[in-house]
Every structure is written in C-alpha cells, then in structure tokens.
Amino acid sequence: KIPAEKIETIREMKNKYDLFGKRIAVLDTRIERMNSAVVADNLILQKGTLFFHYLNNQWGWFMNSNGDKFEGKYFGEIVGLKPHGKGTTTYPNGFKSGDGKVELVGEWKEGEPWDITRYNKSGEITAKWVNGVMVDESEGTGNVQGKAQYKDWEGNMHDTQDGADAANAGYMTDKAGD
C-alpha cells in the first residue's frame, strides 16, 4: 500500500491550489492512482494493453504495436509490463496466414499462459493450459499396449494398463463432462 503520509501530502497540495481557485487535475489523478493501486513486490497491478511481437531478435511483451498483422494484443491485468492475472490476448489474423482470429482467454502468470483456453475463429476450443502446462485436447480410440498416462482438463494425471480401452481410459473431458 502507498503510505498514508504521501497521500496526505498530495491532498494538502491540492487543497492549497483549491484555495487559490486553481484546481489541478493532475493532483486528483495522482491521488486516484495511489488509492486504487495494489502493490505487490514493488510492482503495481494495473489493467491495460500490451502487444506480443518480435523485436530486437526476441519475442516479448511491449507497450506499443509494431504494426505486424500477426502480433497479439493483450488486454487485462498487468504486473511489471507482463500479463499477470485475468486477461485476453487476441491475434486478429491468427499466428500465420489463413488461421483467422485466435483468442487466448483466462489467467496469465508473469507473461505466460497459466489457466488459459485458446479459441479459433469459430469459437471452438483448440488448446488449454492448466497451471502453466498445455493440456492435449486430442481424442482417440484403440488399445493401449503397455502403460500410458494422460492429463485431464483439471491437470490430474491418470494411468492406463495393458489392453485398456483407450476410448474410455484415455479419453479426456472438460469440467462439464463433454
């Protein structure tokens, strides 16, 4: 939290300006920001927009667009100039030509997908991340030879045994059971 004495100092300055009839909007803005800021590890949690693109030989999050038609645009909670908390990243043209719109919606952690659902241009789920790990949403049928493992939508690991029916043992479902 912002120390109360700093907020009080700004309020006193504002009141002095008000006495002279010269109210300064900047002081109001500063007070508002200080009152609404959440401070965690000296980084301020705020809502805003970031862009994900390639610059100076690296991919990263930036405050400004570079005009690339395949860059991602994030809107949501930000800490330390990275997505952190609830937000949505939209790729209006997909990741490459012909993809169409792609959206990643959910919770981010230090700029990385944490609990995220990715949707294609038709609104169908194409991928999920649970606790920072991408969960395979593929389906299949057949018999398992040996032992196999799979992870469900909630991130729980499951084992199958020799000869198990993969249509049942390895079939993944979402929280609604679909």
- Residue-level pLDDT, tens digit, the chain, 178 residues: 667 777 777 677 666 655 554 555 555 555 555 544 444 444 667 899 999 988 888 888 988 888 888 889 999 999 888 999 999 999 988 876 667 889 999 999 999 999 999 999 899 998 899 999 888 655 555 555 556 666 555 556 766 654 454 444 444 444 455 4
What pLDDT score does 178 carry? 47
pLDDT score of 54: 84
Write out the E strands in 11-160.
Answer: 38-40, 43-55, 58-62, 72-79, 82-91, 102-109, 112-119, 125-130, 133-135, 148-151, 157-160
Cβ(143)–Cβ(160) under 8 Å?
A: no
pLDDT at 103: 93
State the pLDDT at residue 59: 87
**Which pLDDT does position 109 carry in this prediction?**
93
Cβ contact 62:55 at 8 Å: yes
Residue-level pLDDT at 71: 87
- Name the β-bridge partners of 134: 129
Cα torsion through 166, 169, 175, 178, rounded to 10: 40
The predicted pLDDT at position 115 comes to: 94
Question: Residue 136: what residue type?
Answer: D
Token pair recorded at residue 162: 């020799």
Contact 121, 94 (CB under 8 A): yes
Q: What is the pLDDT of residue 160?
A: 63
Q: What is the pLDDT of residue 137?
A: 55
Q: Show Cβ contacts of residue 56 under 8 Å, excluding neighbours closer than 6 positions.
A: none
In angstroms, the CA 108 to CA 32 distance is 26
